[in-house]
Structure 1
Amino acid sequence: MRDILIMMIVIPAALMALRRPWIGVLLWTWLSLMNPHRYAFGFSVTAPLAAIAAVSTLVGMLAAPKDRESPFKGAPPVILLIFMAWMTLSWVMGMDRANDYAQWDKVMKINLMVLVTLMLLRTRVQIMTFVWVATFSLALLGIKGGLFTIANGGNYRVWGPPGSFIYDNNHFALALVMTIPLMRFLQMQTQAAWLKLAMTGGMVLVAASALGSHSRGGFLAICAMTLVLWWRGRNRFVSGVVLAVVAAVLLAFMPQEWSDRIATIGEYNEDASAQGRLSAWATAWNAAFHYPFGVGFNAARPELFQRFSPNPEVGTPVAHSIYFQVLGQHGFVGLGLFLLLWGVTWRWAAKLRREARDIPQARWAADLGAMCQVSLVGYAVGGAFLNLAHFDWPYDVMAMVVMARVWVRRRSWETEPVPESPRRWQHLLGIVPPRVPAAKGAA
């Protein structure tokens, strides 16, 4: 039944993408982030669903040149392209080009579709719909995991979609932490009190799911994200009280095992896992001096660990950090490009906030820039302890920032046609701007 339901979504959406290729971007994003086919049991598990979405999008894009434009609308996508070129060079010059091909192919496809997203999405309706689809692709998984955590008192760990980038409980936690600020952004755009309340409940459940993963990196990420989210709030006293109450309630559900695990964060000198990570980080650092182009997409090699680790008897070669993952795989140049990409994206989000906050028609873009920054804080902090350098979600956040800022700089609200008869749900979700009542005496 699940397989049929998935195909009932994929096939019509792929056909629609042939005429409206931006629909194909939404389909790809849903499949890539949520991985719904991983929860099925039949033919859809192995069916090339992502390929169907990508091919239909590319065909539709080629058939409709007026629907596309250059993706290089600013510094972030240009840096991404340079980073892609460097990763390709690193793969070619790496230690095992043949066996690393599969990972290179996966990463290039993900980044290519990010560029395609920037080519096809231009209007407020398109950008807002993309944010809804991307955010709730992960939020629905988090809500499900939150209900599971509460029902079981936090005694069992929450895991992501099987066989995906975020199957590991730690990776899943970080993805959910990044999702909460975008849920808050969507809540700010909604027009109904009941929906705002439902979004609040959803955010609490996603946070419960992140805690239920028992991830220490995820816990640090959610603390950093919450602090910045509170600071960015319009009423810090009220939001502080609400966040404190929610945190107290959620922590009360967690078992002693969870508390004991989180407490080991401050005992890294005695924790074997932490010592293993430090050993792996040193391996990546030392290897980068000997391999200027990096070693390719697999830096977690036992031979490298034995050669470059100061303590090869402790831990494993896996870096467990986006920073040391990129450093080991692609060298100092690759790490520099990676950091530059996120630093420039942060700056673009900050400029988006400043440029749009005093424009009523663009207030939504200012809110988006602010919440994307909060999401990136979660990624920067949690990613320091997790291998998620090539996961789609942060790159999708980057695309949101770029698309929204370009929309503002073009003053698109002056030229962009607003649907004359938008559907009620589009108003409800904030996908189209709210109606402005006509002034008294107007014709």
Structure 2
Amino acid sequence: MRDIVVLIFLTGCIVAAFKKPWWGVLSLAIFSYLNPHAYAWGFVRTLPVYYILFLIVAFRTFTTKDKQSIPKDWRVIFFVFLWLYFLFTTTQAYIQDIAWDRFWFVTKIYIPFYFTLVLINTRQKLYLLIVTIGIAIGIVALKGGIFALLSGFGHRVYGPPLTQFEDNNQFAVAMLMIIPLLLVWQKGSNHFWIKKGVLLSIPIIFAASLSSWSRGALLTMSALILMLIWNSKHKLLAIPLVLVSAFFVVDYLPQEWFGRMETLESYQEDESAMGRIEAWTDGWRHTLEHPFTGSGFEGWMYVTNRDWHSSYVEMFAEHGFLAFGIWISMILGTIVNLTFLPKKTKEIEGMEWVAHYCFMVRASLICYMLGTAFLGLAYWDLLYHLIFIAVLIKKFANEELAIKQKQTIPKRPLSPILK
């Protein structure tokens, strides 16, 4: 039965992509983050679903007229240069077979962002892309949150099978990152039940993140709550609501959960934490010796005893300081842009959406920066999706701003001769 349902859904996505290619971009996001065919039991589970959709969207992208040119943004140039640099470092990698496999895996993640940049050519389409990403991850997060509440947080919550965030720690960060995206949906919708449903789902997603038993997620969650309160127009209501919720949750969590969180203070006694510090130290020393090439993809197998367990270390240890500089510049530059862009549209009627989109996407990016400090997710597609969503926010905001400025310029009266 599950196979039939997934097959029908896939067929619908294929038809939608043929009819309107930008719907294919949304479909790719669903199959990338939700990975619905992994929940099937039969032949559908092994179908190359994502690649089928990819080929269809690629074909329709080059045949449709409903598209735009690639936005002229420095982040797009940096992104391409970063990929080229990966190609260079892979030729110098220690473990060639594994490095090339990983390079092509990352390439398959990167290429579909071209479709996002050229097919998402209106603000409404951008809104629906944000909503689709939020829902794709949010569905599993809600399921996990309900399970966590019913089981008294006694079991860990895991992500969709065969995705980059299947692991409980990675899924915890992904869940926190999509909460701001769901708030974009909540504010942009006119439907009463959607607005209330999204607000009710957020505490459940927080519960799912707590039940991941991830220490990094606890730090990220704390930062996210502070950011949401800071950007809220109802701070006086939000603060006591958070405090009351925390009071009840503390009594509900098992003692073993607190024992794991306490290792944040006593990390010297935690074997896992000390193993990460050792890997980070080995990665740093190796990069000092090989600042331009690093170790190549999956170079930890040669350099140290375990995975990097940090996106930052993963990037500079595998590709050197130049690649790290490009990568971190894209993230920090996007956060800076999202901070200052709302000031250009402040108090302009009809452009209130800019500030909300910017603050929410910025919150998601900050969650990534905090959460992946302890997780190796430097090539995560969700990160680059957020960066390119920010590129499109800037593009559409500047276009709308230019139109409104033209409308406010007073027209000069015609001279008597022209009359």
TM-score range normalised by the length of the shorter chain: over 0.9
Q: Does 1:6 align with 2:3?
A: no
CA distance in 2, matches of 1:192, 1:68: 29
Tell me which residue corresponds to 2:293.
293
Tell me which residue corresponds to 1:61.
61
CA distance in 2, matches of 1:56, 1:90: 31
- 1:323 is aligned with what amino acid? Y
Tell me which residue corresponds to 1:438.
none
CA contact (8 A) 1:25 1:53 kept: no
% identical equivalent positions: 28
Matches within 5 A, 1:122-201: 122-201=121-200
**1:320 Cα deviation after fit:** 0.7
CA distance in 2, matches of 1:383, 1:206: 19
Matches within 5 A, 1:328-343: 328-343=317-332
CA contact (8 A) 2:98 2:297 kept: no
> What do residues 120-169 of structure 1 show as CA deviations (whole Å, max 9, x unaligned)?
10112211111111111001111000000000000000111222211111
Q: Does 1:49 align with 2:49?
A: yes
CA distance in 2, matches of 1:223, 1:194: 28
Matches within 5 A, 1:15-164: 15-64=15-64, 66-164=65-163
CA distance in 2, matches of 1:209, 1:153: 11
CA contact (8 A) 2:93 2:295 kept: yes
Secondary structure at the aligned position of 2:394 is classed as: helix
Tell me which residue corresponds to 1:427.
none
Residues 145 and 68 of structure 1, relative CA distance in 2, 3 Å threshold: same
**1:190 Cα deviation after fit:** 2.3
Matches within 5 A, 1:38-437: 38-64=38-64, 66-291=65-290, 292-301=292-301, 303-305=302-304, 316-411=305-400
Residues 151 and 227 of structure 1, relative CA distance in 2, 3 Å threshold: same
Tell me which residue corresponds to 2:415.
none
CA distance in 1, matches of 2:206, 2:25: 27
CA contact (8 A) 1:3 1:37 kept: yes
**1:61 Cα deviation after fit:** 0.7
- Please report the RMSD computed on the Cα atoms of aligned residues, expressed in angstroms: 1.7
Moved more, 180-189 or 245-254: 245-254
CA distance in 2, matches of 1:254, 1:413: 52
- 1:340 is aligned with what amino acid? S
CA contact (8 A) 2:90 2:96 kept: yes
TM-score by length of 1: 0.87
**1:414 Cα deviation after fit:** 5.6
- 2:300 is aligned with what amino acid? A
Moved more, 240-249 or 111-120: 240-249
CA distance in 2, matches of 1:183, 1:245: 23
**1:99 Cα deviation after fit:** 2.2
Secondary structure at the aligned position of 1:207 is classed as: helix
CA distance in 2, matches of 1:7, 1:187: 30
CA distance in 1, matches of 2:189, 2:56: 31
Kindly tell me the number of residue pairs found equivalent between the two proteins.
Answer: 403
- 1:196 is aligned with what amino acid? K
CA distance in 2, matches of 1:73, 1:230: 34
TM-score by length of 2: 0.92
CA contact (8 A) 1:94 1:295 kept: yes
Moved more, 328-337 or 13-22: 13-22
Secondary structure at the aligned position of 1:141 is classed as: helix
Gaps of 5+ in 1: 306-315, 416-443
CA contact (8 A) 2:33 2:160 kept: no
CA distance in 2, matches of 1:157, 1:406: 41
Residues 78 and 197 of structure 1, relative CA distance in 2, 3 Å threshold: same
**1:412 Cα deviation after fit:** 7.8
CA distance in 2, matches of 1:274, 1:265: 9
CA contact (8 A) 1:361 1:413 kept: no
CA distance in 2, matches of 1:413, 1:21: 28
CA contact (8 A) 1:73 1:402 kept: no
- 1:15 is aligned with what amino acid? V
- 1:115 is aligned with what amino acid? Y
- 2:395 is aligned with what amino acid? V
CA distance in 1, matches of 2:125, 2:191: 21
> What do residues 350-393 of structure 1 show as CA deviations (whole Å, max 9, x unaligned)?
23322334233222232011011111111111110111111111
